[in-house]
Structure 1
């Protein structure tokens, strides 16, 4: 990938709603060049900016689900989960025998409805475990640069938004009817112009600008970048479920947050209490990372690794034939006959 593309991706990670003209000025290139590269990245790498709620301030709880399945059933179930509005990061792992997904719910009722009513009770699903996220160390509102760290400190400072970084412990925010309309549109495309958002909401553009600014300032709304990792050099994704002694959990999580390989790290409930997602370019790098970096962390008793073989959904909408990991065009996720709205299985 060319340097200008990496710089553009990094800029959008810093502020997904930054005007392309401002990005071009910071990069010292023409507006037309940035616009062309942005359009090409959307087409070839599935690049999208996604508006997302910061769960805790709006009363949401995030769960990580692990479903062990027979291989013949895993892809169909993963597709159905990916079509749901309340899921993200739906992945097939462990040779296709495991589904990992994140679920954002407003209470135990929504979680139980998924686990007890909507996932078919059959021999195709051999086990289900649900891990509630307790503390986020990296991921979500926190920026992960990874292989896209391509800007100087001066450029990063020039692009930094005027809003404080969202915090997990931000005060509660009560969402309004207007917020729900805005969030629906921003989930589709986080860069939707204010004028278009105002037209959808049936209000004045200044009202939309003011409310988005309020949500961002309150730490309730942030903008994530959704992109096919294979476009960044084909890093291999691996989920790690770690058991860490409680007294050393905070230190381990903070250390992992500083590792460039780590895209996500969170303390969870369950038999394992730390979930980590890492991106490594090859097996040798993963081996060295496990033996040298993970092995050196104090308090780690066990580590279970689950190589991700396909990502059906990232931060936003269902992944549609982006990169090798998504399969052929004929394998696009879609609704089955008789499936309920939202892709509920």
Structure 2
């Protein structure tokens, strides 16, 4: 893939779309102080180059059974195993890591039975995996859709924020038509209602109504992503902590606010708190760890890893620079099994 450069205006657009992933070109242009045509042109360039994209992933009410799985493999086959797992629609993110594990995989399932089957059956059918360690999430304090790149003001964020009445308490079923819509949107999260209607052979008003329902009921979340190599935070790292139960919620909620933190989740494991962070260089991992221990001296750091490569993030296959080169839509309701990589 060609070299990609990114401007301050591009970064501001990414931040704006982090706030409101399907904001109109006119609203984006008004808030960012440029014409709608300029905004549309900038986004088309970023999207076509794989530098930024709108990912589609399950919303908060669908996060029933989420697990972080550490995997070790026969050393010559790490990339092959990672590529196979990345084809699974339940694997949200697949990272090749330097540390305790060869791979760190985030898996989301519709229920505990499916998650159990994934861990005990689906993974066991993949060649060259030598061991797995699973930790099931008990609470998600933050995830990547709440992270901001830090390029626009609070006032601009306020002007962009979509109107919201909160997540509705009832949870409707996800139909086959909904799955078709989610699949189509996964390839381009800003696809127009008209184009989506053509893709799934429905009229535009039906598409608009169904997407609105999926979003308002918390079944689907849209997230603007950027290639980390272009974000200013090119390295990814994870830390696992041991926190006493009485302090777990307090520490998790506070760490979730820190600007480096992309994800913060409580786990049903001895290492009961995990954070994923984006950093500028490897030395910042130590600085982050020191800051945590300074703020929370009762916390014990149990493990830390640096990513060598992120092969898949929120359903998008990535190249070595973290740019999107393909899509494996996240589908909690799919019976599809992982395909062995060629």
Shared fold per TM-score greater than 0.5:
yes
The answer (yes or no) to whether the contact 1:139–1:263 under 8 Å persists in 2 is yes
List aligned pairs for 1:265-284, cutoff 5 A: 265-284=264-283
My pick for the range that moved more, 267-276 or 197-206, is 197-206
Q: State how far apart, in whole Å, the 2-side matches of 1:122 and 1:197 are.
A: 35
Cα RMSD over matched residues? 2.7
Contact persistence 1:166–1:220 (CA under 8 A): no
Partner of 1:226: 225
* TM norm structure 1: 0.86
1:333 deviation in Å? 11
Q: Report SS of the residue matched to 2:316.
A: coil
Match of 2:79 in 1: 75
Partner of 2:40: 35
Q: After superposition, what is the alpha-carbon deviation per residue over 1:272-306, rounded to whole angstroms, capped at 9, x for unaligned?
A: 11111011111332222111234421531233101
Residue deviations 1:187-218 (CA, integer Å, cap 9, x gap): 22211211122233333211221221222222
Q: Aligned ranges for residues 74-223 of structure 1 at < 5 Å?
A: 74-94=78-98, 97-120=101-124, 124-140=128-144, 142-145=145-148, 148-164=149-165, 171-223=170-222
CA–CA separation in structure 2 for the residues paired with 1:27 and 1:134 = 39
1:4 alignment partner in structure 2: 9
CA distance in 1, matches of 2:82, 2:272: 24
CA spacing shift, 1:179–1:258, aligned 2, 3 Å:
same
Task: Give the 3 Å change call, closer, same or farther, for CA 218–97 of structure 1 in structure 2.
Answer: closer
Query: TM-score, normalization: structure 2?
Result: 0.86
Separation of aligned partners in 2, 1:200 and 1:45? 21
Instruction: Note if contact 1:239-1:275 (Cα within 8 Å) is conserved in structure 2.
Output: yes
Counterpart position of 2:3 = none
Contact 2:81 / 2:127 at 8 angstroms: preserved in 1?
no
Relative to structure 1, is the Cα distance of residues 121 and 156 closer, same or farther in structure 2, using a 3 angstrom cutoff?
Answer: closer
Within 2, Cα distance between the matches of 1:130 and 1:304? 15
CA contact (8 A) 1:58 1:220 kept: yes
Distance 2:51 2:65 in 1: 28
Partner of 2:339: 344
Listed as ranges, the gaps of 5+ residues in structure 2 are 1-5, 329-334
Q: What secondary structure, in the 3-state scheme, does the structure 2 residue paired with 1:119 have? A: helix
Work out the number of aligned pairs and report it. Answer: 328
Distance 1:272 1:180, change over 3 A: same
Q: Out of 215-224 and 257-266, give the one that drifted further.
A: 215-224
Q: 1:122 to 1:62 in 2, by over 3 A?
A: closer
- Aligned partners of 1:39 and 1:196: how far apart in 2? 16
C-alpha distance in 1 between matches for 2:274 and 2:35: 42
- For the 8 Å contact 1:225–1:315, the answer to whether it is kept is no
Cα drift, residue 255 of structure 1: 1.2
